[in-house]
Structure 1
Amino acid sequence: MNIRSIIIDDNPFNIEVLSDLLQENDIKVNLVGTAKNGKEGLELISSVQPDLVFLDVEMPDMNGFEVLASLDKINFRTIFVTAHSHYAIHAIRFNALDYLVKPIDQKELNLAIRRFRSNSNADHQNQMKNALKNMERKNALDQVLFLPTQEGGIKMALRDIIKIEGDRNYSTFYLSTNKTKISSKTLGHFEEILTDKGFFRCHRSFIVNYHHIDKVQKDFFSMKNGENIPISRRRKVDARDWFSVVKSKK
């Protein structure tokens, strides 16, 4: 498989470093062009039709997400490249997108390219469109969680998720539509990406959605559907504090 790639980054040094790493990479990647800003990047995408774009998140004229939002169709895969920007990394992880952190490590680059090859049949245009829509939605409950699968992916509106139950390396989502969805990601993964969106891990086996909580009791959350979800002993104080803070913001 001949991977045709481009780099869009406003820092010439970063372009040079990534170019060198691609030449040394275990998997052959053909670099067919580079661009130093978003405008040039859009022109380059149009002219060379790449398979893979290494896209800097933070650029002065437009950020990486704005570059993608400017396209009618996204017929390529994207690996975002970012410094230690908490906001950018959190947004990327929530939307199940791939990324590398500067300074780029050769092993991490190799893994990212391997993921690109193994996921070549997934519906990435649909995934990216979902991510861009999420970034436009100011209310977290209006955002949609995308879970990649071999068949293309599962979408779930955050407002529909009542709870997530973890069992070893799997997580089960219980929805207000009376449906369940299973992910091969751990509960810890979802705790990390959902904490700032009105979700709370109250027990080693459960994450709850504030939107579906009726009240907090001594040892459990009373949910609006009549269910009681346990609160572990070590999380009782945190649970009450979290519930009070979130409630005050609503």
Structure 2
Amino acid sequence: MKLKAIIVEDEETSREILKNYLKKYCPNVEVLGEAANVEEALVLIRNQALDLVFLDVEMPYGNAFDLLDRVGDINFETVFVTAYNHYAIDALNAHASYYLMKPVSIDELIKAVDYVTEVKTKENALQDQVLVPKTNGINGKITIPQQDGFEVLNTADILYCKADDNYTEIFLENNRKKLVSKTLKYFEDALIDSSFVRVHKSYLVNINEVTKYVKGKGGSVVLSNGKEIMVSASKKSNLLSYFK
């Protein structure tokens, strides 16, 4: 699919290099405009229906995070392009789909564009459709350790799991909750054959309890109990693949 994009970068040479790379190696990306600072970028974003923004971190009169805060809710994916690797965690927290280091690697650029293409294709395919999990029903059980032994839970009763340092909070039907001295990764592995998917570094959700997917800044899912959980950009494609 075609991706409508803009490049936000204060260095003209860097903009030209990225634009030429995209034209040669990522022909499905249509660059609609360029911006050298936050104010110019805001004008482009507010006047274009965009799929993708290539975003430098350091710019005059503000940075990438200032820009995203001012934009608010967004429907485009973000690929950060920067010479500074210490922004990686901040970029992930800002729901970046990909993080490219300067000088930009052509292979990494292609991977970034391929990932965004995959996400947007899946989002468009599911637009205005009822979300139907590919795997319905969970006929399993899981044990959780307790001081005096263990408790057996029906996996179908689990709505979602939330990381709490080296503990995991398990949220069940009827507003029940369990705190277990195991990491979220432990439960991700334990439930690998069930309909559970990691949507965020802190959340593991039961696909059969997802009632709505919300596009926007990173995206989110709404569960059957009304709980809305943010979806990391890096987890979005995997989540959407669970629906038909």
Matches within 5 A, 1:34-183: 34-86=34-86, 88-93=87-92, 97=96, 98-120=98-120, 121=122, 156=162, 158=164, 161=168, 163-164=182-183, 171=189, 183=198
Q: For residues 89 and 68 of structure 1, what CA distance do their matches in structure 2 show?
A: 15
Q: For residues 63 and 155 of structure 1, what CA distance do their matches in structure 2 show?
A: 34
How many residues of Structure 1 are paired with residues of Structure 2 in the alignment? 148
Report if aligned partners of 1:6, 1:31 keep a CA contact under 8 Å in 2. Answer: yes
Partner of 1:100, secondary structure, is strand
Gaps of at least 5 residues in structure 2 are 125-159, 169-180, 203-244
Shift of 1:84: 2.6
Partner of 1:70, secondary structure, is helix
Report if aligned partners of 1:165, 1:172 keep a CA contact under 8 Å in 2. Answer: no
Report if aligned partners of 1:172, 1:182 keep a CA contact under 8 Å in 2. Answer: no
Report if aligned partners of 2:53, 2:77 keep a CA contact under 8 Å in 1. Answer: yes
Partner of 2:59, secondary structure, is coil
Aligned residue for 1:137? none
Aligned residue for 1:17? 17
Give TM-score scaled by structure 2 length: 0.52
Higher helix share: 1
* Distance of aligned partners of 1:73 and 1:16 in 2 relative to their CA distance in 1, 3 Å threshold: same
Gaps of at least 5 residues in structure 1 are 124-153, 174-180, 194-250
Partner of 2:71, secondary structure, is coil
Report if aligned partners of 2:78, 2:95 keep a CA contact under 8 Å in 1. Answer: no
The AA in structure 2 aligned to 1:89 is A
Q: For residues 172 and 83 of structure 1, what CA distance do their matches in structure 2 show?
A: 39
Higher strand share: 2
* Distance of aligned partners of 1:41 and 1:95 in 2 relative to their CA distance in 1, 3 Å threshold: closer
Aligned residue for 2:2? 2
* Distance of aligned partners of 1:39 and 1:114 in 2 relative to their CA distance in 1, 3 Å threshold: same
Where do 4+ consecutive residues of structure 1 move more than 3 Å?
93-96, 154-163, 170-173, 181-185
Which segment is superposed worse, 7-16 or 44-53? 44-53
Shift of 1:65: 1.1
Two-structure CA RMSD over aligned residues (Å) = 3.3
